[in-house]
Amino acid sequence: MNKRFGTIVLDTSFRFIIPFIMVYSVYVLIHGEDSPGGGFQAGALFGIVFVLSRLVQGEDCALKISGTKAIMLAGVGTAIYGFVGVLTLIFGGNFLQYGALPLNMHEPERHAMGILGIEIGVTLCVMATIIAIFDALTRREEM
């Protein structure tokens, strides 16, 4: 999207609502272990923030991640997910047995930190995938 789509009312409302969406997505991410939500929902909310930014403000938006950077970020999210699982194997547990993580905490806290690590990886992957899909759909072909 090359041109700005929004008017002053749309731009003002966008600037007002985006911080609330981002705070809510962090809330969904952090409380994903013990409540509905988690990595996928938080990633979808973060992805929508970047999509709305590109829709309202055009190419000169402040929150801009290109499609190739988004694909790399999705790979980083997948690597985080895999790293947490392999780390449990290295330290003597089963795959994704978070109690075996080498953290100086009680086992319930290690379990919560392991799930948070998994959800952070999923959040990055989902957010980046949404951005990459949007970028692929709105990209203009060179003639």
pLDDT in tens, 10-31: 888 888 999 999 999 999 998 8
CA-nearest of 42, 17, 14 to 27 is 42
Overall pTM > 0.75: yes
Closest by CA position to 127, among listed 34, 55, 52, 57: 52
Q: Domain segments of the chain: what residues?
A: 8-138
Residue 39 has pLDDT above 90, yes or no: no
CA-to-CA distance for 27 and 113, rounded, in angstroms? 15
> What percent of the chain lies above the pLDDT cut of 70?
92
**Over 70: is that where the pLDDT of 1 sits?**
no
CB 118 within 8 A of CB 84: yes
- The confidence score (pLDDT) of residue 45 equals 93
Backbone angles phi, psi at 139, to 5 degrees: -70, 135
Structure-block tokens of residue 127: 């957010």
Q: Is the pLDDT of residue 94 over 90?
A: no
pLDDT (tens digit, 9 = 90+) per residue, 95-106? 778 877 888 888
With residues binned 3-state (H G I as helix, E B as strand, rest as coil), the percentages for the chain, rounded to 5, are 75, 0, 25
pLDDT per residue as tens digits for the range 123-135: 999 999 999 998 8
pLDDT above 90: residue 115: no
Average pLDDT, rounded, for the chain: 84
What pLDDT is stored for residue 76 in this prediction?
Answer: 93
